[in-house]
A and B are shown apart, each in its own frame.
Chain A
Amino acid sequence: MSKTSTISPKSIKDISKSSDQLAHVDLKDLPPLPPPYDDMEKLPGFKALSEEAREKFDASLDDTLVVSHPKPATPEEEERLVKGFFSGLEKLFTKENNWTFLEPLTMSMEHCAKCQTCATDCPVFTMSGENEVYRPTYRAEVMRRLYFKHVKKGTKVFNSFQNGGIDGNWTTISRLMELAYRCTLCRRCAQSCPIGVDNGLITHELRKLFSMEMGISPKELHEKGTVQQLKVGSSTGMNPVAIKDNVDFIDEDMTDRTGIKVETKWDVEGADILLIHNAGEFLAWPENPGAFALMLEAAGVSWTLSSDLVAYDGVNYGLFYDDAQLARVAARHLEVAKKLKVKKIVMGECGHEHKALGVIADRVFNNSIPRESAMTLMEEIVFSGKLSLDPSKNDFPVTLHDPCNITRAMGIVEPQRRVLRHIAPQFREMEPHGTRNYCCGGGSGFAIMSGHNFADWRMHISGRMKMKQILEAFGDTDLYSDEVKKYICAPCSNCKGQIRDLLDFYGAKTTSGIYYGGLVELIVNAMTDLSEPFLDWDMM
């Protein structure tokens, strides 16, 4: 029997036992990356969590912190938190409180066969050197035992024998709280489960419990995320004046660089398409919305952006942690689309926007406004013959990163590939890819979290598999040289943030000439109307 095939009941129970740290990752236990990134000594290390942070926050899970919840100051406060958790746990299993996910959650609670097929498919678990607490069934099993003991009740003898034996104390609960943020919700485990148990969903429901019942969530997702988006207009903090100022600059910059007049359309009533970008694009990757404007104009598409609060930001972090926040943001997107009387919404190059708007918000939208992926729109434009394209302009090695929410969650696999095969002569796949892809390691909002030393966890552990895949995809080139520029096409803002951090952390741009960007930039780079290359490697 292999090392990953059994689970020690002792280690599950350990979550309740008080200790400074339940788990620790030693860098020398991590599977090595391909050369020249195989020498751990030459890579940045993993900074220790400060004593101050360990003193102040509930940090007894592992080497890092995401939620950063202050330790309860009094026994009364601790008791209140424990009660809050169990009240929330019960609500997760009632139809009136959780009609959205009750059924798959209950099925996942009651039917895991502990076969561990999921474990070998989990990039966090495998690339952590198989650390027990990161095993996809670990947090699920803790949750399951609490469910059987406190929610399902009944058959007491059976439960204490089979499912019980776990103490629902604050040590357990505070560790579960952090552990809910050591999984990127990529749901590769759910895909591999022979009976359809969804450990990703269990993680998601745990996050929901902490946010919706106890008001506990990472500030990047809530306070600076959905709350800021609903109040100011965008999770980036851009108000409608700032977004217009930025887009004016982008239009001007695009026009200067390409010699083609670029003018973004705002609030056009009755336009065919309301395009909603992840607003992070305007600030961090302005070439992306700029290239969209250029491509849509060149193809004669009737389109518009909205300058209404929330509607110029496709972000909906509620997807990662809170159903009510998700619905509030989605309702705003719908309201503006109706106000503008557009034929459909097109979701820009953002994975979680795809899933939130395209799938989960279905019941908010109730079929009133169709939503389309930018992937199919780009495919349609590229093969319509409306653009004059010269693939030789993209004659450098290109690989594709599949955002989990677009490919695995929604099955949008081929459109972006058909485009790349057509416009990028040196396109090569990562292995595995498509619906069997690996997460970038920044999924479920991790890419925007860097507090304390969490960035080191993302770089060494959750992003390790992606880094390996990237290097392997360019394995036919000289990775000791930056002479040949290589391009990772990552059509998702969150994934781009994570990949940028990975390339910086490992020094892969300077060592191996590996760059990254979106899909639309490659399309525009191939346009014959542009006399100069659109891609500006010096700014990438």
Chain B
Amino acid sequence: MASFEYNGKAVDVDEDGFIEDPSVWNEELAKALAEIEGVTEMSDDHWKIVHYLRDYYKQFGIAPMVRKLCKETDTPLKRIYELYPSGPAKGACKVAGLPKPTGCV
């Protein structure tokens, strides 16, 4: 298992940089993960996506479908790519501390 260091702390991540244990997530960690994703400043729009993803994950144990994310946060897909250049799954979900998607998705 690889590890990722932020503010002097280390968290376990998988080979693609997704954190292994979603419960260790906090906003400081999110900012550090965002930097790797090329996001230097977490704006309100960035947080809106992250909080939606986390709330959904707490309720259902998985990430929401992209269309639902767009509709319920009122954010077009193009805008999500502007916010998170690697996209909703590889970028936003990683910053939100969700596990990497599995199955044929």
Contact = CB atoms under 8 A, between A and B. Distances in A.
Given A249-B68, A253-B67, A451-B15, A242 B62 contact: yes
A43 interface: no
Given A281-B104, A315-B103, 8 more contacts: A225-B103, A237-B61, A237-B62, A253-B71, A283-B65, A315-B104, A452-B15, A539-B77
Interface in A434-455: 447-448, 450-452
13 contacts: A52-B2, A225-B102, A225-B103, A237-B99, A239-B61, A241-B60, A278-B104, A284-B66, A286-B67, A448-B105, A450-B16, A539-B67, A539-B77
Contacts of B99: 237
A497 B105 CA distance: 7
Nearest to B104: A280
A53 B104 contact: no
Interface residues of A, number: 41
Interface string A230-243: 00101111110110
Interface in B41-98: 60-68, 70-71, 76-78
B101 interface: yes
A291 B14 CA distance: 36
Nearest to A452: B15
Given A236-B105, A280-B103, A242 B60 contact: yes
A68 B2 CA distance: 13
Contacts of A249: 65, 67-68
Contact of A237 (B66, B77, B102): B102
A13 B5 CA distance: 44
B60 A236 contact: no
A246 interface: yes
Interface of B: 2, 14-16, 60-68, 70-71, 76-78, 99, 101-105
Nearest to B99: A237
Contacts of A246: 64-65, 68
A225 B103 CA distance: 6
Given A246-B68, A539-B77, A235 B62 contact: no
A538 interface: yes
Interface in A451-503: 451-452, 493-494, 497
Contacts of A225: 102-103
Contacts of A238: 60, 62
List the 10 closest pairs (A to B, CB-CB), nearest first.
A280-B104, A236-B103, A235-B103, A224-B102, A242-B60, A493-B104, A284-B105, A237-B62, A280-B105, A283-B65
A448 B15 contact: no
Contacts of A237: 61-62, 99, 101-103
Contacts of B101: 236-237, 283
A239 B103 CA distance: 13
A447 B105 CA distance: 9
A402 to B, nearest CB: 18
A310 to B, nearest CB: 12
Nearest to B78: A538
Nearest to A234: B103
A238 B104 CA distance: 12
Nearest to A245: B60
B104 A494 contact: yes
Contacts of A283: 62-63, 65, 101, 103, 105
A236 to B, nearest CB: 4
Nearest to B63: A283
Contacts of B16: 450-451
B62 to A, nearest CB: 4
